[in-house]
Amino acid sequence: MARNFFENGYALLWPQVDWAGARPGFVESEFPLIPFMAAVLYRFLGVHEWIGRAIAAAFSLVAGYALFHLVRKVSGSRVAIWAAGFYLFLPLSLYYSRTFMPDAAMMAFSILAIAWFYDWTESGAPGFLAASCVAFSASALLKLPCLYLMLPIAYLANLRFGPSFWKRPLLWAYAAAALTPVVGWYVHAHQILLGGGLTFGIWEYGRDKWGNWSLVSSWAFWNALVFRNVAERWLTWAGFALFLLGLFAIPRSTRERLFDLWLIAVLVFFVIVAKGNYVHEYYQWPLLPAASFYLAKAVTIGIHSRRSALVAGTSLALLLMIALSGVRYASYLRKEDPRKSAQHELSVRVRRMTEPGALLVAVDGQDPTLLYLSHRKGWHANPDQVDSVFLAQRAREGARYVIGIVSPRNAASVSMRRRLAQNYPSVLDDGGLMIYRLPF
């Protein structure tokens, strides 16, 4: 999206992707704030992925400070320092906080929305309410499920005004002002789809990211979500134990119960967007503010306890968290090494061996990375789709090459390469990397 904004004009309301073939590639998506910001910086700094990473890292630092600010108001500076530290330096948070995605900004706006709303309930200053409204709206524009923030916000309103808080016109105005841009954007985005554009599957109920109730009822879902993703990857096993201790064994004040409601809201999100959470581990990022608070409570009490056994146990758990976090983070960084990436190697060959602007059929399993790295546009395809009928249709639409990576362990991709070798001239067929020319 960022590169398309840069190359095709800065039309913020008309995001484009590379996988629409010969069409312009307008797509129904979340509000493209981060790609647009990157595209503006491309104008001055050139097209570099580090720009998107830097934007994400900056938002992550904002999120860490916002969480520190909120927890300091609720529980004091000691707990706040630990909470911000856990939020920023747990392994997947550290990893995803520098990835070119909108999630880091979404997290920053989410935490700011809660923190500034809390400030308003404490001070009554209208500026805090306005800032919270903008942050809440921005978070939902970036990721629609952030509407779950209404639950912790309602809890804070109840603390300030009592059970009849919902009768206050100012709060209704807050909700209307926050939600109007969200509704407006997603209606517009859906019109892009209805007008012949593409989609990231925002509204595909029961098929893509959300509404998969049979999945929610399965053990595989909860095992993957709780144990594989949250316990092993996000918090580490040692951190998960401390999280459970902070959640179930340590008393909390009425104000600290804010994080209980925040946690419940996120769990509702997990259930509703079950498929997304099952497939993508970064979907659990919204759990981290509440989890960091519970971790901070447990560590603060453990480290400053008068019982030496508790101090020693907490210290050991922290050391294990550091070790496990380092191993996890290093394993993720190794996956980004271009020297070990077949996609990167193939994209280099594509840029060298095909003419600029050539349309491609990318056998990529619907992953846009290969087309992006190749700086080409085209169509996604799966190996079992790639037959003479499919390729003839793509060729009539302007496709000039088929590219992909063949795995010897994937029978469908091996069979596909055999069909291609028999019917089309080879530009490259080497070590699993393939480029075949289609008839003009």
Which residues contact residue 60 at a Cβ distance below 8 angstroms, ignoring those fewer than 6 apart? 88, 93, 97, 98, 104, 107, 108
Single out the residue in 334, 350, 367 at which a domain terminates: 334
Q: Which residues contact 320 (CB under 8 A, 6 or more apart)?
A: 236, 237, 238
Q: Are residues 281 and 380 in the same domain?
A: no
Q: Which residues contact 430 (CB under 8 A, 6 or more apart)?
A: none
Write the DSSP symbol of residue 363. E
Structure tokens at 297: 């409570």
CA pair distance 144, 28, nearest whole angstrom: 13
- Are residues 350 and 320 both part of a single domain? no
Output the DSSP codes for 117-164: HHHHHHH--HHHHHHHHHHHHHHHHH-GGGGGGHHHHHHHHHHHH-GG
Residue 2 lies in a domain: no
Q: What angle do CA 129, 164, 268 make, to 5 degrees?
A: 70
- 308 and 371 belong to one structural domain: no
For 204-224, give the secondary structure using H, E and C. CCCCCCCCCHHHHCCHHHHHH
The Cα 354–Cα 435 span in angstroms is 9
What values do phi and psi take at 221, rounded to 5? -65, -50
Same-domain check for residues 248 and 108: yes
Q: Provide the 8-state DSSP code for 362.
A: E
Of the candidates 83, 17, 30, the residue with the CA atom closest to the CA atom of residue 276: 30
- What whole-number distance in Å separates Cα of residue 74 and Cα of residue 260? 13
Return d(Cα 22, Cα 96) in angstroms, integer: 33
Task: Provide the residue-wise pLDDT of the chain in tens; the chain has 440 residues.
Answer: 999 999 999 999 999 999 999 999 999 999 999 999 999 999 999 999 999 999 999 999 999 999 999 999 999 999 999 999 999 999 999 999 999 999 999 999 999 999 999 999 999 999 999 999 999 999 999 999 999 999 999 999 999 999 999 999 999 999 999 999 999 999 999 999 999 999 988 777 766 677 788 899 999 999 999 999 999 999 999 999 999 999 999 999 999 999 999 999 999 999 999 999 999 999 999 999 999 999 999 999 999 888 898 999 999 999 999 999 999 999 999 888 887 889 999 999 999 999 999 999 999 988 999 999 999 999 999 999 999 999 999 999 999 999 999 988 889 999 999 999 999 999 999 989 999 999 87
> In this structure, what token pair is assigned to residue 82?
């630990």
* Whether residues 211 and 354 fall in one domain: no
Indicate whether this model's pTM tops 0.85.
yes
pLDDT at position 431 is 85
Q: What angle do CA 108, 110, 111 make, to 5 degrees?
A: 70
CA neighbor of 281 nearest in space, from 241, 342, 231: 231
Q: Work out the angle at residue 373's Cα, subtended by the Cα atoms of residues 327 and 402, and round it to the nearest 5 degrees.
A: 120
Question: For position 360, which CATH number holds?
Answer: 3.40.120
Q: Residues 114, 262: contact at Cβ < 8 Å?
A: yes
Last residue of a domain, one of 279, 307, 334: 334
What integer pLDDT is reported at residue 116 of this predicted model? 98
> Any bridge partners for residue 426, and if so which?
436
Q: Which structural domain, as residue segments, surrounds residue 398? A: 339-437
What pLDDT is stored for residue 285 in this prediction? 98
Q: Are residues 312 and 349 in the same domain?
A: no
Residue 26 sits in the same domain as residue 136: yes
Sign of CA dihedral 102, 103, 109, 112: negative
Residue 208 has a pLDDT of 66
Helix (H) or strand (E) holding 305: none
Q: Is residue 3 in a domain?
A: no
How buried is residue 153: exposed, middle or buried, by Cβ count under 10 Å (0-12/13-18/19+)? buried
DSSP letter (8 states) at residue 383: G
The total number of structural domains that make up the chain? 2
Among the candidates 299, 334, 369, a domain finishes at: 334
Beta strands in 6-116 (DSSP E): 27-28
Please enumerate, as own/partner, the contacts of 382-389 that have beta carbons within 8 Å and a separation of 24 or more: 382/412, 383/410, 383/412, 383/413, 383/415, 383/416, 384/412, 384/416, 386/361, 386/416, 386/419, 386/420, 387/419, 388/419, 388/423
